Structure 1
Amino acid sequence: MFRPATSPPCLTTLVLLTAFSVLSLNMFLPSLQNIAADFQVDYAMANLSIAGYLAVTALLQIIMGPLSDRFGRRPVMLAGLGIFSFASIGCLFASNIWVFLGFRLLQGALISGMTLARAAVRDQYSPQKAASLLGYISMAMAVAPMTGPLIGGILDQLFGWRSTFLFFVVAGFLLWWLTYVDMGETNKTPSATIRAQFQTYPELLRSRRFWGYAVCLTFSLGAFYIYITGAALVGGSVFDLSPAAIGAGVGIITCGFAFGSFLSGRFANRVPLTTMVIAGRLVAACGPLLGFCLMGLGILNPFTYFGAITLVGMGNGLTIPSANSGIMSVRPQLAGSAAGLSGALAVAGGALLTSLTGAVLTAETGALVLLLLVFASVVLSLCAALYVRFIDNRDLLPK
């Protein structure tokens, strides 16, 4: 029961690590107002526990990826889970907002679960097989955002907001134990020294394939960030929906993502990476295009509008697992670094696109402008995917 693992982790462990990384971000969202009231601060101050957390995770992905290439996935994962678990204790017993925010930022170490789970898969399998397994793991990224706030809201209502962090403490230590007994080292070729590793970085940074896949991933996720930022405004001002109905409209894109990820799990093992990526981008483009057509015909209601967006989520589910596998396959010995850097780019890109969306959307033009922004992000991701295909085809030509 307490023997350290010596064999690669099972898929269930990697799914749990990925899902819990997502839960740590959104599970306590229903408690933000109560946290602000308890610490006698305004809502904006309490909301720093989300914005600051995202900023820290972006930075940590750049650090933890290279560390796992040098020292191995297992020790970095265990360290991240340990820091998260002890930081959760700090949040649980925090006496003021500054103590709470300080420990909340330390909780960002859990991002190792998402980043290194992907790297561990790529360590063990070919690019296409890895894309297939990443498709199933990505389904956890769709389920967790839907269930996390619900569970957090119930815990808050029954026991108060601190009960969510008690859940994080217990779950964090349980996941640490599971990782200890199930996740053996998968990085079989670690760098000899940090210096030797950084000397190989120019290979990754000069790779046009890496940047093509990374840009594709950033704008694919960017379409999602744009949508969830603007959906509440459109739902309330254009369709006069209730908060519950707006929540359903926001969440529908994750249903499409879950289905697309399932399809990736089924077919990515047999289809070239760039084919899966491009197919996903084309499916995603059909969403806003369908929305434009329906609006042009005078058909504008919540079912047609939000239903069309489901295709964007489905396209992301088809694209993202293969794009992640492609990113980590450019330089397999730097899979952790590639996963961390691309993850940080995606978070930073999402933050910028979220800010842009909030700046340009208005109640009068929200429905059309939101579709235009989503479509623009999808088109940019498609161009990046086609660029990778162009490089692949060029390299296959006889010299």
Structure 2
Amino acid sequence: MDDVADLVDRIWRADAGGMLGALSRRLGDFDRAEEALADAVAEALKRWPDEGVPDSPTGWLVTAAWRKALDRLRRDAVGREKVALVAAQPPPEPGVDDRLAMIFACCHPDLAEPARVALTLYAAGGLSTAEIAAAFLVPLPTMAQRLSRAKRQLREHGIGFEVPRPHEYAERLPAVLAVIYLVFNEGYLSSGRSAQRRELAREGVELARQLAALLPREPEVAGLAALLELHHARAAARFDSWGRIVLLADQDRRLWDTAAIERAVLRLGAAVRLGRPGPYQARAGITALHALAASYEDTDWADVRSLYDRLYPLDPSPVVLLNRAVATRFAVGPGAALDEVDALGGRLAGYHLWHATRADLLATLDRPVEALAAAERARELATNPAERELMSRRVGELRRRP
């Protein structure tokens, strides 16, 4: 029984999006699809230990769910009208379009961002409500309510489970990529009480890889997948044994997954060759330069700075300019970098990393009093425990400086 339960769990994690997508598209109702599939899983757990696992477990689950959905429709007064339309159809076979339809429905721009994230992890990623609640450090009933509201929004907004037409990708794809990027970042460096929630980071990487496989001609999807793979390949070196952040300059690069870095770089190269640049490809290019450098000092900072120049028109954010200023420090000098950082004060005065960057530059320029004030302000503004601890260490170092 335990072996069957483990198998069903693996199938759910791998194929939930496709199974739910196939059923939701044909039933036109996510709730009915989810309920029928849950019944099918329960039946599998009851029958497979005695009857054996079928040759196509996913196909068996979808067929069983389809039959259960039809039975419910026949018993439901509202469903009797629909059953005539769908009963004649054969059981659906989950395919690429079904998984895509589910991902795009979960990330529909009409849904609120928390709903998009929760639904994507639940319906497309196959995580349980309890797993999502634990990852986001909220009580299980709270997450259950969030998912319930998200499903209700699907119904109220009339969001269908269909793959966008090719001309709609430009409008719809950014929302999908943004959700996946947010999922990854929530795990890679939490903004809550936990320093690193690795499960969410892994889930973000997996979702990006799945989407890249489903949309091989979309370079920004591959760019996002490469970006997340490059970051994830360095995850083992980002925190020390006490859970403290280790800055890139101080990381033990022997802990990096060099094979994963090489694969990500190859993925990025194939995306760039498609000739449609975008912000995720540019970010991945910057991250690749860091990942391929033999040491922090050997990083090609001029190239990093140049890529930030390419990124800014695609993502005109002051944070991009702040990161460019870090490259300026090494490519040009700390004085020029400080000028660039100070020019962003009006837009980033409430951002802890603006103050942290200023503190480092002021310390380098032998202005310790100003550096200490900037570091203390960065510590005050930091919300992540690991980042606060890092800035506390920095404040201590500056206070001990003669």
* TM-score bucket (shorter structure): under 0.3
TM (normalized to structure 2)? 0.26
Q: Greater share of helix residues, 1 or 2?
A: 1
Greater RCO, 1 or 2 (C-alpha within 8 Å, sep 6+): 1
Q: Which one has a bigger Cα radius of gyration?
A: 2
TM (normalized to structure 1)? 0.26
